[in-house]
Amino acid sequence: MSDLPQLKESALLLEDRVAMLILQRDDVRNALSGTELTDDLVTTLSWANTCPQVSVLIVTGEGGAFSAGGNVKTMGARSQAAPHILQNNYKNTIQRIPRAFQAVEIPVIAAVNGPAIGAGFDLANMCDMRIGSTNAQFGETFVNLGIIAGDGGAWFLQRLVGYQRAAELSFSGRIVKAEEALALGILLEVTAPEQLLPRAREIAARIATKPPIAVRYAKQLLRRGQQQPLSEHLDLCSSFQALCHKTEDHAEALTAFREKRRGKFKGQ
């Protein structure tokens, strides 16, 4: 089995092809600025692409918050830098997260245990699925501080809820609680707090039983399909399908279907 990467302020667990990343800066409500959490996220996503033993990743926060986004207490000091310095800082820090999420090949599930605010909301939206406890809250709150989503949040949010609702949330900066988030399509499910991680693991475990190569290709098709014209997308589908037909897992899936048993897949 591949060694787990060394993280600085997070814990990473791997069991039965399901990895779980736990952000562990509850002292600052898992803020992404002023901590090492950005490095931990990027490192974990890069590791997932090279580790054949992982099929799904769950991201959650330790303590009362999923992620408070930016650290407001240090924001004023950061704003003293020259504009070109600020621009480069965004490119070299927080913007590494959306780039890593766009490159990750496995499904990622956000288990939102508490508030996901600002960049924390955007972090959740970068994942493929989100389930939240009744304590979850969401807010595209940048406008309240006189700034905008510097991490690409507007790109992700409108793809999730549509332009009109994304505009309302971005322009108002209001907080959305769990039940409304479910109604808007931000959340897939809402659970009791004590059931959040068991339910996230249950969803992840179901995915982890499927042929790993096919799951990774399915993820790529969904992501690329957001941008490609249909003709280009169909070309990609035929290429991926040809590769899938040649895998050992495809042959095993057909045999398991005929024998009416669960397949035993190796990612080969």
Percent of the chain at pLDDT above 70? 98
Regarding whether 227 and 191 lie in a shared domain, the answer is no
Regarding whether 141 and 47 lie in a shared domain, the answer is yes
Taking all residues of the chain, what is their mean pLDDT, rounded to a whole number? Answer: 94
Confirm whether 3 is domain-assigned. no
Q: What is the pLDDT of residues 54-64, one digit of tens each?
A: 999 999 999 99
Regarding whether 97 and 20 lie in a shared domain, the answer is yes
Does residue 206 have a pLDDT over 70?
yes
Q: What is the pLDDT of residues 145-173, one digit of tens each?
A: 999 999 999 999 999 999 999 999 999 99
Mean pLDDT of 89-100: 90
Does residue 70 have a pLDDT over 90?
no
Rounded CA separation 228/110 (Å)? 26
β-pairing verdict for 137-139 and 175-177: antiparallel
Q: Is 250 helix (H, G, I), strand (E, B) or coil?
A: helix
Regarding whether 116 and 245 lie in a shared domain, the answer is no
Regarding whether 130 and 61 lie in a shared domain, the answer is yes
Confirm whether 137 is domain-assigned. yes
Confirm whether 265 is domain-assigned. no
Q: Which helix (H) or strand (E) holds 75?
A: helix 72-78
Mean pLDDT of 216-227: 95
Out of 17-31, 109-123, 254-268, which region has the weakest mean confidence (pLDDT)?
254-268
Regarding whether 113 and 41 lie in a shared domain, the answer is yes
Regarding whether 39 and 97 lie in a shared domain, the answer is yes
Picking from 167, 182, 208, the residue at the C-terminal end of a domain is 208
Rounded CA separation 187/185 (Å)? 5
Confirm whether 128 is domain-assigned. yes
Confirm whether 249 is domain-assigned. yes
Percent of the chain at pLDDT above 90? 87
Does residue 74 have a pLDDT over 90?
no
Regarding whether 245 and 196 lie in a shared domain, the answer is no
Regarding whether 88 and 174 lie in a shared domain, the answer is yes
Q: Give the burial string for 1-33 (b: 16+ CB within 10 Å, else e).
A: eeeeeebebbebebeebbbbbbbbbeebbbbbb
Give the pLDDT band (50/70/90) at residue 76.
low
Regarding whether 22 and 149 lie in a shared domain, the answer is yes
Mean pLDDT of 188-199: 98
Regarding whether 250 and 122 lie in a shared domain, the answer is no
Mean pLDDT of 207-215: 97
How distant, in Å, are the alpha carbons of 54, 126, 140, 205, 222 from that of 107? 10, 11, 24, 12, 11
* Residue 233: CATH number of its domain: 1.10.12.10
Confirm whether 268 is domain-assigned. no
Please give the pLDDT value at position 81.
Answer: 76
Q: Which helix (H) or strand (E) holds 252?
A: helix 248-259
Does residue 227 have a pLDDT over 80?
yes
Regarding whether 241 and 226 lie in a shared domain, the answer is yes
Rounded CA separation 161/156 (Å)? 9
Q: What is the pLDDT of residues 234-253, one digit of tens each?
A: 999 999 999 999 999 999 99
Please give the pLDDT value at position 87.
Answer: 82
Please give the pLDDT value at position 2.
Answer: 59
* Residue 50: CATH number of its domain: 3.90.226.10
Picking from 165, 190, 208, the residue at the C-terminal end of a domain is 208
Total domains, the chain: 2
Confirm whether 177 is domain-assigned. yes
Confirm whether 1 is domain-assigned. no
Give the structural domain span for 248.
Answer: 212-259
Please give the pLDDT value at position 85.
Answer: 81
Does residue 1 have a pLDDT over 60?
no
E strand spans, 113-152: 115-117, 129-133, 137-139
Picking from 208, 223, 247, the residue at the C-terminal end of a domain is 208
